[in-house]
Structures are given as C-alpha cells and as structure tokens.
Amino acid sequence: MSNLQQNSGRSAFDIPTSDVMTQLPTQFFATLVQNVNHEIASGHDVINLGQGNPDTPTPPHIVKTLQESAENPLYHKYSPFSGHAFLKEAIAKRYQEDYNVDLDPETEVAILFGGKTGLVQLPQVLLNPGDVCLVPDPGYPDYWSGVALAKAQMSFMPLLESNAFLPDYEAISDEVRDKAKLMYLNYPNNPTSATAPLSFYEDTVEFAIRNKIVIASDFAYGAIGFDGHRPVSFLQAPGAKEVGIEFYTLSKTYNMAGWRVGFALGNAEIISKINLLQDHIYVSLFGGIQAAAAAALTSSQQCVTELVARYESRRNALYEALSSIGWVASKPGGSFFSWLPVPSGFTSAEFADLLLREAKVAVAPGIGFGTHGEGYVRAGLLSDEKRLEEAARRIGKLNLFK
Ligand SMILES: Cc1ncc(COP(=O)(O)O)c(C=O)c1O
C-alpha cells in the first residue's frame, strides 16, 4: 500500500508554520482551566470564580427575535458586507441615549464578530513591524495577540493601585512616545475592576494629539457600573473621535457572549480600515443575529438595569463575606470582577493553586494579566450570593488573613 492509501492521519511532510504563529503569546490560563477541570473530574464541588463568562441567560425578548428572524428568507442570503444598516443605527441610537455621543451609523460604526475580533484586528490595520503599541499592565491578554499578529512591539503601561489603576502618561519616555502609534485602554477594567473619570479621557485625548497616538478604548464592561454611576465612555471626551475609537460588545451588557456581536465606534478613517480588512475575511454576521442584536439595543433596557443590580448585590455579598474573614480589598466600581490582594508569602499563582487545592475555589492569578498583576488574584462575580459567601467561608477556614 502506498503512503497515501494508508491514511494514517499523520502529515506526509513537515507542515510549515508562519513566523507570526510562533510569536503568539502562550495561553497562561489554559493550565488553570485544566487544573479546575481536573478537580471537578475528581468529584470536587469547585466554585469557579476564575473565568469571565456571564452566568445568566440572554433576556428572552432577544432570543425570541432570533427565533423569529431565523425564518426570514432575507437573512438566509449573504448579509451586506459591513452589516445591516438597522444594526448600525441601533448602536448609534444607544450611544446617543446612554452617553450623549453622536455617531454616524454609516461611517463611524463597524460591526464585529465580538469585541475580541476587532481588538485583535486593530494593530493589523494600523501598525507595521517595529511600531510600538502601548498596552495596560495588568490587562486583557488579547491585546498582546493583536500586537503579535501585526509583528509590532508592546510597551507596557503599569496600572498601579496608588494611581487608581490608571496609566501615568508622564512616566512614558520620549523614545516610547516617538515610536508608539496605538494605545489600548480598558475601563471599567479587566482585571482590576477600576473605572475611569471623564477627566482621565480628556487628558488622554490631549496626550494622543501631542504624541500622534491612536486610542483604542475597550468598553466591554461599559454597562456595568455600581452605586448609581454609569461608566464614562471615552467618546464622551471632546475630540475623542479625532484620535481614536471605542470597542463595545453585547457579550456582557446582554449576556450574549456566545452570540459574538461587537462594534468599533468613532474615528471614520479607522472604522473604514477595519471594514476593509473585514471585507477580505468575512461577510458580516448572520442577519438573524443582527436583528436580535438590534432588538437588544433598541428595546427596553430594564434587563440591563436588573443585570447590573444583580452584580452589585453579589459584589456587596462577596465583600461583606471577605471582610468577615479578614480579607480586605477596595470594592469594585464597575465590571463583574474583584481584584483582591494576595496575602504575603505567596505569589499570585501559588495562592490561586492553594485556593483551588485546599478550598476548591478557583480564582485567576494576577500574573496571567501581566507583571504588574502580581500580588493580586481576580475573582468574578459570576455565581450567586450563596456561592460567593460559601467561597469566602471555605477560604476563611484556611486562616490566611488573621
Ligand atoms: C476587557 C475585555 N475586552 C474585550 C472582551 C471581548 O469580549 P467579546 O469578544 O465577547 O465581545 C472581553 C471578554 O472577556 C474582555 O474582558
């Protein structure tokens, strides 16, 4: 039998790998997921606060719109390349209502396959090899992937508790400012749960103009603000559209993480570049999903109010329980994460391992988000109050905070 007929499943020759694939960052959290799965497979009741997947379902009116739209033959055809006008109009209307920001649906909105796709595409449409991208540390690891795919370089902006987890622009050297072409920001922040005031974005616009740096504001948790405060959008700062864009996603606002609907909003030149790249890769989202996404954005926002109230109630329950075991941390102002200091004597990875092994509670070690994430672990508010209190009770039994 010849090699071809044997069909062993092994490659007949060395399959090539592009250099860029070898440059992709390693997936730090893959090991954590494996360890959690191992504990669960061994029969343990693990309280998993390590991930960022919304735990409650998409509101029924949105699901119903998808069900009905699935029968519309119009949506069985290719969607328009850059998506349906009605969806772009719906997000523009939402920004007008929620943030008093004007967006031209035709030129200032790009529809994305989830926010992640746009965040990873952006360096590919703006940067050349050797260009520098300013990235928050700690930060969402997908920024690193986009920069690697563009063969650009990262320069990290430390987010320190002493500076309210905002970057200190004064600390960025002249050399980095010269080479930097793009900066990612993300408030409410993953992982630190910090929020940013409008004055910070005003300073950011000024810094961007002075140094010719495009700003990419990742507003994934834009809907989730506590204690009566709606998080500020970067686009609310005067001049923001002249220097950058904002990424918005339906994943967290409407529990639609699996639906993959996101947007890039703002500077028309950047939006057209994103649309151009996407024209070469995709033909927009399934029309039925676009119809359901538009329904989410244009119908009553009561479901969002209820979701935010749920996270706030969980936050309060968790922090009360943590303080009763002596684990002191400042309460998050937004997002669905808590950023908790690691007790002395442990690295964040050692501490997360210990909590998983001894308390069967999974948290994400801060080091996975960057060097300046060391000293913290991230816990999600993605279980109900009882489970969060139970997590704190189990951790309390380890007597680590007395
Ligand atoms: C900070 C941040 N940005 C962007 C995203 C991407 O969201 P999606 O791709 O679901 O829109 C996430 C998801 O966890 C996130 O935490």
Category of 119 on φ-ψ map: left (φ > 0), alpha (ψ -120 to 50) or beta: alpha
Ligand 1: residue whose CA is nearest its atom 14: 52
The pLDDT tens digits for 228-284 are 999 999 999 999 999 999 999 999 999 999 999 999 999 999 999 999 999 999 999
Over 80: is that where the pLDDT of 6 sits?
no
Q: What was the pLDDT predicted at 27?
A: 78
Q: How far apart are CA 167 and CA 267, in angstroms?
A: 23
Integer angstrom CA distances of residue 145 from 53, 217, 275:
20, 17, 20
Q: What was the pLDDT predicted at 80?
A: 93
Atom index in ligand 1 nearest the CA of residue 257 equals: 10
The pLDDT tens digits for 180-190 are 999 999 999 99
Category of 360 on φ-ψ map: left (φ > 0), alpha (ψ -120 to 50) or beta: left
Q: How far apart are CA 92 and CA 103, in angstroms?
A: 5
The pLDDT tens digits for 93-137 are 999 999 999 999 999 999 999 999 999 999 999 999 999 999 999
| Ligand 1 centroid distance, CA of 285 (Å) | 18
Q: What is the mean pLDDT of the chain?
A: 96
Q: What was the pLDDT predicted at 5?
A: 59
Q: What was the pLDDT predicted at 47?
A: 97
Q: For ligand 1, which residues put their CB under 6 angstroms from it?
A: 52, 114-116, 119, 140, 186, 190, 218, 220, 249, 251, 257, 262
The pLDDT tens digits for 60-92 are 999 999 999 999 999 999 999 999 999 999 999
Q: What was the pLDDT predicted at 349?
A: 95
Axis-axis angle for helices 60-69, 287-298 (nearest 10): 150
Over 90: is that where the pLDDT of 2 sits?
no
Q: How far apart are CA 247 and CA 110, in angstroms?
A: 10
- Length of the chain counted residue by residue: 402
For range 352-381, the mean pLDDT = 97
Q: What was the pLDDT predicted at 126?
A: 98
| Reported pTM | 0.96
Instruction: Give me the residue label for tokens 């940013």.
Output: 196
**CA-based angle 323:305:117, to the nearest 5?**
90
| Ligand 1 centroid distance, CA of 391 (Å) | 25
| Ligand 1 centroid distance, CA of 246 (Å) | 13
Ligand 1: residue whose CA is nearest its atom 15: 220
Atom index in ligand 1 nearest the CA of residue 52 equals: 14
Atom index in ligand 1 nearest the CA of residue 115 equals: 11
- The three-class DSSP label of residue 241 is helix
Q: What was the pLDDT predicted at 9?
A: 87
Instruction: Assign domain 19-57+303-396 to its CATH architecture.
Output: Alpha-Beta Complex (3.90)
Q: What was the pLDDT predicted at 204?
A: 98
Atom index in ligand 1 nearest the CA of residue 186 equals: 1
Q: How far apart are CA 117 and CA 232, in angstroms?
A: 23
Q: What was the pLDDT predicted at 50?
A: 94
Ligand 1: residue whose CA is nearest its atom 2: 220
| Ligand 1 centroid distance, CA of 189 (Å) | 11
Ligand 1: residue whose CA is nearest its atom 3: 220
Confidence band of 3 (pLDDT split at 50, 70, 90): low
For range 359-380, the mean pLDDT = 97
Q: Estimate the share of the chain in helix, then strand, then coil, as percent rounded to the nearest 5.
A: 50, 15, 40
| Ligand 1 centroid distance, CA of 338 (Å) | 16
CATH 3.90.1150.10 residue ranges of the chain are 19-57+303-396
Confidence band of 38 (pLDDT split at 50, 70, 90): very high
Q: Which CATH number fits domain 61-298: 3.40.50.800, 2.30.40.10, 1.10.10.10, 3.40.640.10?
A: 3.40.640.10
Q: How far apart are CA 225 and CA 71, in angstroms?
A: 37
Beta strand pairing status for 132-137 and 180-185?
A: parallel
Ligand 1: residue whose CA is nearest its atom 12: 220
CATH 3.40.640.10 residue ranges of the chain are 61-298
In percent, how much of the chain has pLDDT > 70?
99
For range 42-56, the mean pLDDT = 94
Atom index in ligand 1 nearest the CA of residue 190 equals: 1
User: In terms of DSSP H, where are the helices of 262-378?
Assistant: 268-281, 287-298, 302-324, 348-354
DSSP 337: E
| Ligand 1 centroid distance, CA of 84 (Å) | 23
